[in-house]
Structure 1
Amino acid sequence: MKFTDSLTNLFSESKTENSVNNTNNTNNNNNANKDLPLQLSMEQPIESTQQFFSWFSKIEEDMEKGQEDIYRHFLNTLKIYKETCDLILTEIDNTTNLLDKLDTNYQFVENKTKTLKQACESLVAEQNHLSDIANALNKKLSYFTEVDSISQLFNNNDENVCLKQQFIPALNKLDKCLEFLKNNSDFKDVDMHIMRYRHCLAKGMSIIKTYFVNEMMNVLVDVRKEILPTDEPDPNKLKLYVYDRFHQESSQLQILIREIEDRCTIYQEFIEDINSCYDAYFSVRRQLLTPVIINHIQSLSNPPSLLVVARKGCYYMIKLFIDEYKLFFEIFDSGEEEFKNYLKSLASNLYDYIRPMIIHENRIDTLSELCRVLLSNLTEVNTISHRKKEDYELKLSFLVINNILKDAQQRLAFRAQSFIKQDIEGFKISDKDLIGFLRISESVRKANLQQQKLQKQDASLKRLISETQINTHNKNSEDYDLGKVIYGGGEWYPTLQRTLYILTKLYHVINQNVFEDIAEEAIEQCRLSLVEVANQIYRLKTKVDSQLFLVKNLLLFRERIAPFDAEFIHKEALDVDINTIKDVALGILNNPESILSVLLGKTVPNISSPSSNMDARQLNVLNKLILSLLRFLLIK
């Protein structure tokens, strides 16, 4: 930059100097021209030739000099330019030397800078490495020093220390420290530090347990102040104090209880803490709900009705159990087995109330209906929504109903066996009553035949004949009604009707194996009673009448008990027309078993136990009947 400035100044001075010189030369020429007349007009006259030549020489010299000044001036200018150029070259050389020296210094500084940079980077890397080592050391050392600050927090006398924000993070720190110490068992004094941390963690779990138990007791005291055990159950108060109060506390309690539950799978000693929480919760809930449940059950029916109490009581308990289930799992995430035992203790209130009623109930209809009601509650309980586990409500209903259902089924089975013993096996009919029964049975059969004929006629004629038939039957209404009441409508023998009655009441309400045993006993006693009556008819009338009575009742009985293998459906009595046997008697000599298809008009289905035991006996009776009919036809 300095060199450029000096060069610029040099050129400026040169130009200025040239301008000045030119101006001076012009002025000198003008002055010479002005002086020439002066010189020519000298005051001294020329007196001699020598003076003239001297004067002329001088004049000539002056003229030549005036003509050569421009060249001299130009020459001087060139000299000045030359000197200026030399000066510039000198400056350029100096500048070049300076630049070379500057470049050398720059390279030196650059090399030094690179060296310094590398040294700094190395130092920074070493510093970072040392910092990482220091942080790692501090981090590992923190696993050994956290116990002091956490112990100070846990040893605080504040009962609500577990509600502080730093409490749960402190527990998490303990878990991390214990995990680190277990993974680095080769460190010095690891066992001692593990023992200290385990003790501190146990202290934290004990703080949560103590807080939970105290909170449950406080809630119990507060609720008892509002609801006395002797008060009438008010649904609004029950919802407000028995459930809403617990729902309000559940969010905070759930956070704390989850800390114990998560550690129970790792540390077995904490199971005792969570069990203490279960016991406190169930104890408080039991004390609050037991008086309410008892009061509600006692108010279900006045006077007490077994079916009403069972139906309403089971529904109430199932709904209560579902509410308890939702409330329990808002606080706890485990303890299903303990919760199940708690529900059993609540269900015992209903069971203890109903069980004496079941024991003293002798009506088979009521016991059978009770079993159906209890079983329907097991199948229909899924209509109520639940929190999780699709089949858990069925489990809850099973807790309520299981014991009651077992007692009801046992009582029903006992009463059924007594009924079979007294009303089927112990039923005896006199000859007079048997003749009346046969007369009524024949009257009913004719009435059925007449009714079938009337169905083929027009509606008006059928109505007329029906009215006539009704009037005809009214004449013998006293005998007919008596037989209908005593002997089951006149067509079914009483033991047969009673057997079907008891099977109907037992089917699908007791255990299948128990049903099969009782059914087999009832069917066998019914068959023996039919055989006994057939022998009695044989004494009073003929052998054919005896065999026809036995075949008819056995066929009716077989048809009626067949649906018990699937679903019991009460069908109309099957009519057996003896005239049909007369028309085809000659065609069944070679195949006696075909009499079943003839009498029933269809193939008789295979019937499994217990009715299958009658097949051999029934076939034997039919064979005897066929032989008797053939003899009768041959004689005719």
Structure 2
Amino acid sequence: MASHSPPTPPKSNLPRPEAVSRGYNFASTWEQNAPLTEQQQAAIQALAHAVAERPFPSNLSQDTISMQEHGLSISTKHSASEDSGVIDISLVNTNQFYNWFTELEAAMKSETEEKYQHYVTTLRERIQTCDGILRQVDETLELFNELQLQHQAVANKTKTLHDACDRLVMEKQRLIEFAESLHNKLNYFDELENVAASFYSPNMNVGSENFLPMLKRLDECISYVESNPQYAECSVYLVKFRQLQSRALGMIRSYVFTVLKAASSQVQTALRTSGGNKAAVSEGVEASLIYVRFKAAANELKPVLEEIESRKPRKKYAQMLAECHKLYCEQRLSLVRGIVQQRITEVSKKEALPPLTRYGCSYLMQVCHLEHQLFDHFFPSSSDDISSLAPLIDPLCTYLYDTLRPKLIHETNLDVLCDLVDILKVEVLGEQGTRNEEQLAGLRPTLDRILADVHERLTFRARTYIRDEIANYLPLDEDLNYPAKLEQFANANPESTDAEQNPDVFKTWYPPLEKTISCLSKLYRSLEQTVFTGLAQEAVEICSSSIQKASKLITKKSSVMDGQLFLIKHLLILREQIAPFDIEFSITHKELDFSHLLEHLRRILRGQASLFDWSRSTGLARTLSPRVLESQIDAKKELEKSLKVTCEEFIMSVTKLVVDPMLSFATKVTAVKFALSSGNQNQTGNSAIAKPLKDHAFATPEKVAELVKKVSDAIQQELPKVMTKLKLYLQNPSTRGILFKPIKTNIVEAHIQVQSLLKSEYVHEDIQSVLSMISIPDLETQLDNFL
């Protein structure tokens, strides 16, 4: 069987116009934009599967096809539904087969072509329909594009219009704001006419309800114009506004003066009608009239004064407030001055200086308290400033000062002056000042001034007192009657000789000492520490000198020992009495020394130096400049020094009184030994044998026994007298013990020295038979018994 290639299906020569491609593009776009659901896709797949298996044409039914080696036999049997006949075709050769196949193929093509032709026809119809639709879509797209362009153009125009509208709205808002701002700014300038018309109106007065709001508006206009000097004609408006403000403040001043003057007149009229004269008005009625009735005027002035005080930071209103304070103080002073003067004058005629000072200060403090309360009612925001009431308080205080000063100048008593200091410092400034500190603030300058005058007068009188009563004191005979004065006091007061137990012991003191201690005790709490230190140093120095002078007079009148004990007694008392004063008695004195100027002037006159040579030390400035010499004097140390020297002199005098023979004997022995030692050193060759001490005339056993007896008698007779006198002058046992201790030591040492010489220079027989002396322990016991 010969092979042959399968027939090639006929190619379709149908053209594919542009509309078809657009259709396919549209379809693909449609497929993308409108995807099928799963159900629709399943239906399409089922349709495709059904179409894939096409049946044979109905006119062909191939039951058996047999081919033999020498020929091809095809028999076709139709189904029973069609022709019942059987077509038997015998194919002998290849040509017949090809013919038969061609016919079969043509039949099959005809059968299938009809179907596909119909499908092609349908597709062409649909393509045409799609082309129409695509043309419509193209037109629609073109219209849509055109519409889109138009929409974009409209949107652009709308946006432009919207932006323009927004700009216009913003510009309108800015213009409105600018207009409002301009209107607000112009309001301050436009107010000039309104305010001027109001203030120059005949019906406008301070009591009107429109006055204070109009004044407030005027202040706002002035503040605005002052803060914006860059505006045109700003200075002109500012001047006009200030003129109106000055007019308004002038109206306020006149109004305040009128109200205060009316209140003052009412009070004065009430005072005249209630008592006939000021003297007949009691203090209670007086306070009611002067303070209570005057307070009623504050209710009328309160709104205006509060407005002025609230604007006190501004200069004009601060000046106005000060004017109101001044007007108030003037009216109050016209009411109070006469009464205060009359009260102080009446008391000054009856009372001494201390009671007058106490009453005057107390009365003025009461007046200040009441005035401060009344002022606080008028000016609540200004009451803390004490200077506001100064025009009222100062004249009242000045009258008290003028009343006290003449009396103070003529006062010479230190006690009175010290009482004044206590009254001012303790009672007035201390106790009352602590309780009424605010009310006392206005009175304090005058009180300080009075206290300063009292201090000055007290200092002057203290110096005068120290000069007259201490430095220039002329002692009387009874002042120097020692020890008789002490003996009389001891007989009158046998049990009490201490100053703490018996105050009369001060009568035994030398008067300058008593005056010094009394003066310093008074001044210690009355003067400032620096002033008191200078006075104390001067007083102690002068008192010590006065006591030393009196000691010399007593020495001439009584005895040396009385003079010494008098000096020791009073120096000890002075030292003891100044110890409680917590001050330094050391004072530095500065003096100008011009002694070097003489040599400079001589050199200038000799031509050795020039007066105008400023480059050297001989220049005019240095030549005429004095030297400052400083010297420090410590009165307390000088007192200690004088006391120490006096005690040493007393100790030596008592020692010599008791053991002077022994001291002379020891001195002679020392001289002899020194002479012998010097002679032996000067000898050459054989030295001479020195004569024994007992062979000298002054050192014979008889002489030594005599001096020992003299010393023993002095201890038994003279030393008790000394101790009696010592007890008479020095009442303190410890003081006597301190002073007697070195005396005892000197006596014991003199005995030890003599006993030592006896043991070294005399034989034992002489010592036992002739030179028997008291033992040192017995001597010490005997001396201790004197205390």
Q: TM-score, normalised by structure 1?
A: 0.62
State the 1:185 CA deviation.
2.6
Aligned to 1:621: 646
1:152–1:517 distance in 2 versus 1, CA, 3 Å? same
Q: Deviations over 1:28-76 (max 9, x none)?
A: xxxxxxxxxxxxxxxxxxxxxxxxxxxxxxxxxxxxxxxxxxxxxxxxx
SS state of the match for residue 202, structure 2? coil
1:316–1:609 distance in 2 versus 1, CA, 3 Å? farther
1:121–1:239 distance in 2 versus 1, CA, 3 Å? farther
State the 1:207 CA deviation.
1.4
Could you tell me which runs of 5 or more consecutive residues in structure 2 were left unpaired when the two chains were aligned.
1-157, 585-632, 661-713, 715-787
Aligned to 1:224: 268
Task: Write the distance in 1 (CA, Å) between the matches of 2:340 and 2:388.
Answer: 20
Match 1:155 to one of 200, 214, 218: 200
| Counterpart contact for 2:253–2:324, Cα < 8 Å | yes
Q: Is 1:378 aligned to 2:425, yes or no?
A: no
Task: Write the distance in 2 (CA, Å) between the matches of 1:158 and 1:331.
Answer: 27
Q: Is 1:409 aligned to 2:459, yes or no?
A: no
State the 1:536 CA deviation.
1.3
State the 1:554 CA deviation.
0.6
Task: Write the distance in 1 (CA, Å) between the matches of 2:476 and 2:410.
Answer: 34
State the 1:299 CA deviation.
4.1
Match 1:559 to one of 576, 583, 586: 576
| Counterpart contact for 2:393–2:443, Cα < 8 Å | no
Q: Is 1:543 aligned to 2:547, yes or no?
A: no
| Counterpart contact for 1:209–1:273, Cα < 8 Å | yes
Letter paired with 1:556? I
Q: Deviations over 1:541-574 (max 9, x none)?
A: 332221121111111111111212279xxxxxxx
Letter paired with 1:618? L
Task: Write the distance in 2 (CA, Å) between the matches of 1:400 and 1:198.
Answer: 40
State the 1:610 CA deviation.
4.9
Q: Is 1:513 aligned to 2:530, yes or no?
A: yes
| Counterpart contact for 2:353–2:407, Cα < 8 Å | yes
CA RMSD of aligned residues (A): 3.7
Aligned to 2:748: none
Aligned to 1:346: 396
| Counterpart contact for 1:162–1:168, Cα < 8 Å | yes
Return the structure number with greater strand share. Answer: 2
Which stretch shifts more, 529-538 or 414-423? 414-423
Return the structure number with greater helix share. Answer: 1
Letter paired with 2:190? T
Task: Write the distance in 2 (CA, Å) between the matches of 1:609 and 1:395.
Answer: 41
Aligned to 1:54: none
Aligned to 1:280: 327
Match 2:209 to one of 159, 165, 170: 165
Spell out the pairing of 1:3-22 with structure 2 (5 A cutoff): none
Letter paired with 2:336? L
Task: Write the distance in 2 (CA, Å) between the matches of 1:213 and 1:323.
Answer: 21
State the 1:340 CA deviation.
2.8
Match 2:188 to one of 127, 140, 143: 143
State the 1:509 CA deviation.
1.3
1:442–1:158 distance in 2 versus 1, CA, 3 Å? farther
1:623–1:395 distance in 2 versus 1, CA, 3 Å? farther
Task: Write the distance in 2 (CA, Å) between the matches of 1:534 and 1:363.
Answer: 30
1:329–1:406 distance in 2 versus 1, CA, 3 Å? same
Task: Write the distance in 1 (CA, Å) between the matches of 2:246 and 2:390.
Answer: 28
Q: Is 1:531 aligned to 2:582, yes or no?
A: no
Q: Which runs of 4+ in 1 moved over 6 A?
A: 117-129, 446-449
State the 1:145 CA deviation.
1.0
Task: Write the distance in 1 (CA, Å) between the matches of 2:568 and 2:465.
Answer: 25
State the 1:346 CA deviation.
0.9
State the 1:443 CA deviation.
4.7
Letter paired with 1:146? E
1:298–1:449 distance in 2 versus 1, CA, 3 Å? same
How many residues are matched?
446
1:561–1:157 distance in 2 versus 1, CA, 3 Å? farther
Aligned to 1:363: 413
Match 2:298 to one of 244, 250, 267: 250
Aligned to 1:328: 375
Aligned to 2:232: 188
Q: Deviations over 1:139-169 (max 9, x none)?
A: 222111112222222223357x222333222
Letter paired with 2:410? H
Spell out the pairing of 1:460-471 with structure 2 (5 A cutoff): none
1:165–1:122 distance in 2 versus 1, CA, 3 Å? farther
| Counterpart contact for 2:424–2:451, Cα < 8 Å | yes
SS state of the match for residue 521, structure 2? helix
Aligned to 2:486: 441
Task: Write the distance in 2 (CA, Å) between the matches of 1:397 and 1:609.
Answer: 41
| Counterpart contact for 1:209–1:274, Cα < 8 Å | no
Task: Write the distance in 2 (CA, Å) between the matches of 1:508 and 1:189.
Answer: 71
Letter paired with 1:364? L
Structure scoring higher RCO (CA < 8 A, sep ≥ 6) equals: 1
Q: Highest Rg: 1 or 2?
A: 2
1:131–1:416 distance in 2 versus 1, CA, 3 Å? same
SS state of the match for residue 350, structure 2? coil
Task: Write the distance in 2 (CA, Å) between the matches of 1:516 and 1:566.
Answer: 6
State the 1:302 CA deviation.
6.3
Aligned to 2:442: 396
1:432–1:274 distance in 2 versus 1, CA, 3 Å? closer
SS state of the match for residue 162, structure 1? coil
Q: TM-score, normalised by structure 2?
A: 0.51
Which stretch shifts more, 529-538 or 616-625? 616-625
Spell out the pairing of 1:194-213 with structure 2 (5 A cutoff): 194-213=238-257
Task: Write the distance in 2 (CA, Å) between the matches of 1:630 and 1:612.
Answer: 27
State the 1:343 CA deviation.
1.6
Q: Deviations over 1:297-353 (max 9, x none)?
A: 234476222222111210111121122233334434456435335322111122222
1:395–1:445 distance in 2 versus 1, CA, 3 Å? farther
Task: Write the distance in 2 (CA, Å) between the matches of 1:447 and 1:237.
Answer: 62
Q: Is 1:630 aligned to 2:645, yes or no?
A: no
| Counterpart contact for 1:558–1:611, Cα < 8 Å | yes
Spell out the pairing of 1:16-31 with structure 2 (5 A cutoff): none
1:191–1:553 distance in 2 versus 1, CA, 3 Å? same
Match 1:293 to one of 317, 325, 340: 340
Task: Write the distance in 1 (CA, Å) between the matches of 2:220 and 2:317.
Answer: 18
Task: Write the distance in 1 (CA, Å) between the matches of 2:638 and 2:361.
Answer: 41
1:499–1:433 distance in 2 versus 1, CA, 3 Å? closer
Task: Write the distance in 2 (CA, Å) between the matches of 1:379 and 1:289.
Answer: 26
SS state of the match for residue 563, structure 1? coil
Task: Write the distance in 2 (CA, Å) between the matches of 1:449 and 1:441.
Answer: 11
Task: Write the distance in 2 (CA, Å) between the matches of 1:172 and 1:439.
Answer: 94
Task: Write the distance in 2 (CA, Å) between the matches of 1:540 and 1:186.
Answer: 103
